[in-house]
Amino acid sequence: MKKLSFVILLGLILAVAGCSGGNSNAGNGSPESSSPAGSAAQGEASLSPEASGAEPQELVIIGQEINASLDPVKPLTSSYLRNIGVGEALFKVNAGGEVEPSLAESATEVDPTTWEIKLRPEVRFWSGKAVDADAVIASLERSKSLDLQAQPFLNDLTIAKLDDYTLQVKTEREHLPVPLNLSYYQTIIHNAEASHEDIGTMDLTGMYKVTEFSPKQKTVLTINEDYWGQKPTIPTVVFEEISDEQTRVLSALSGRSHVTLNVPVSSLAQFKDNKEVYLSAAPAASTQTIYLNLGQDQLQDVRVRQALSWGADRDELVVLAAEGQSTPVTTWMASNPAYAETKNAVYTQFDPDKAGQLLDEAGWLKESDGIRYKDGKPLTVRLMTWGGDKALGEALQSQWTRLGVKAEVQHGDYSLIETARESGDWDASIEAWSTFGEEFAVLSGQYSPEGRANYGGYNDEETNRLLEELKKAGDQQSRHNLALQINERVAQQAPVISLFPRPQVTAVSSSLQGFEEHFRQFENVVNAKLTLTAQ
């Protein structure tokens, strides 16, 4: 039997800094990076307890949005629960990209399609219920059934009980990195028998418990005194939503918040020479991406989609929309350091002449007003943006207008994008999903016909064939090579246009000690080593 070393070395070498528009995952992801924008600002910044001379007793975290639910299987909820120390998975990924045990004690690869996972017998839910094999299986099965975002990580796993604290995991594919799959926030372990509709009945394992919750406004936490691991020392955590960018910035500058997520890159100058706050800009493995609706007549022609990509000046976009805090990429996987060699693939340079030639070939001819027409209709693209991406949208509008495209930017709340997608009445939108993870899971989620993030309805026979090969690949080198082929094929077909790794900038108070920078900062803010000092 081969003992897992838990090392999945990433070598995060991208020179990226900036603010997460969410992801996403949003990006996260979540969209990691594209965690949807929240409601209106929740009030103006005020003086912190430290500023008044009081001993700090609570950690204040401000985000562009917080969760709308407490149930881990609801969209995006699990990332926020993990972010603030409420939810945990069997494994976690550290800041160096290594997979480590969390609620699990160890994992062993028994044969190419079998893993054994030992659970920590000391772990309990808040209710006191044991986190044993039955509870873990019930939790993961509930996530698989009810959480579409969890399915790419769980669908290939068949989990059985060997004894009270040992799981057997069978995989459809050989050498699947099961601990990595079970490290994602969508696999948070929760008591499947409990109701997660309110704070009185929800039952998780984290170091902090929820004591107050106002959806998309505020979550208040206190220490879980029966926590199985190292207990935190800060008595209270407050997690608030402030969707307005400048109000978030003022919250950080005034000292009201100790951690402020999603700092817009346009506000970086406001923090210059500020000794009370520093900026964390850990590289992010998520790609700022334009998703195109292939259901729209003008975007069904691959030449039009390719022209939009050739006509995007990514160097200029990084300057205008990311304050220089990123690097241009032309393929989706390029923000993953393991695929950094693809950053200039296919669209090797900004080439408006090539773009114009493709549009001419597609029958879209420029007329005296500077706009391209075909059969008497103008070539239009409505680009929907949200959060901190307004400047990016306006820069793209300017670039595409020079090509002869009648480009329009619609900026607003993320819910408007969701509504437009449901109706099919949209041309393009911007998000950033995480490129980090097991290749088939992340690529099929984007580009298979059933993919969660395949917003535009991309269904390409060659891509589907390569995805099937990737699903069956039994070694890492084969998976890597197939992922490269899929990545390039998608760039050529251009159902999406990749721009640059989404910046993520976090403002951290100098009174907070123990903060850890992480390439997935949106789910890694609270840890047990955090301490506050009076200023």
CATH number for 130: 3.40.190.10
The answer to whether position 391 is within a domain reads yes
The answer to whether position 527 is within a domain reads no
Mean pLDDT computed over 329-341: 92
507, amino acid identity: A
Q: What is the DSSP string of 154-189?
A: HTTEEEEEEETTEEEEEESSTT--HHHHTTSGGG--
Residues 340 and 480 in one domain: yes
Could you give the percent of the chain with pLDDT greater than 70?
89
Q: In this predicted model, what pLDDT tens digit does every residue of 354-391 receive, in sequence order?
A: 999 999 999 999 999 999 999 999 999 999 999 889 99
Q: In this predicted model, what pLDDT tens digit does every residue of 426-436 receive, in sequence order?
A: 999 999 988 98
Residues 455 and 326 in one domain: yes
Domain encompassing residue 345: 286-501
Residues 375 and 489 in one domain: yes
Residues 319 and 175 in one domain: no
Q: What's the number of domains the chain is made of?
A: 2
Q: Write down the pLDDT at residue 39.
A: 33
The answer to whether position 7 is within a domain reads yes
Residue that terminates a domain, selected from 170, 187, 204? 187
The answer to whether position 291 is within a domain reads yes
Residues 477 and 331 in one domain: yes
Mean pLDDT computed over 88-98: 91
Residues 294 and 175 in one domain: no
Q: In this predicted model, what pLDDT tens digit does every residue of 199-245 receive, in sequence order?
A: 999 999 999 999 999 999 999 999 999 999 999 999 999 999 999 99
Residue that terminates a domain, selected from 187, 218, 250? 187
Residues 293 and 181 in one domain: no
Residue that terminates a domain, selected from 187, 210, 240? 187
Q: Are residues 352 and 361 in contact, defined by beta-carbon separation less than 8 angstroms?
A: no
Can you state the angle between helices 476-493 and 302-310, rounded to 10 degrees? Answer: 100
Per-residue HEC secondary structure of 233-289 comes to CCCEEEEEECCCHHHHHHHHHHCCCCEECCCCHHHHHHHCCCCCEEEECCCCCEEEE
Quickly state the pLDDT bin for 92 (edges 50, 70, 90). very high
Above 50 in pLDDT, residue 17? no
Q: Write down the pLDDT at residue 20.
A: 33
CATH number for 405: 3.10.105.10
Q: Is the pTM of this model over 0.75?
A: no
Residues 429 and 294 in one domain: yes
Q: Write down the pLDDT at residue 534.
A: 83
Residues 181 and 295 in one domain: no
DSSP state of 62: E
The answer to whether position 94 is within a domain reads yes
The answer to whether position 265 is within a domain reads no
Residues 315 and 166 in one domain: no
Q: Write down the pLDDT at residue 55.
A: 57
The answer to whether position 388 is within a domain reads yes
When comparing pLDDT for 31 and 461, which is higher? 461
Quickly state the pLDDT bin for 8 (edges 50, 70, 90). very low
The answer to whether position 179 is within a domain reads yes
Q: In this predicted model, what pLDDT tens digit does every residue of 26-63 receive, in sequence order?
A: 333 345 433 333 333 333 444 444 444 555 689 999 99
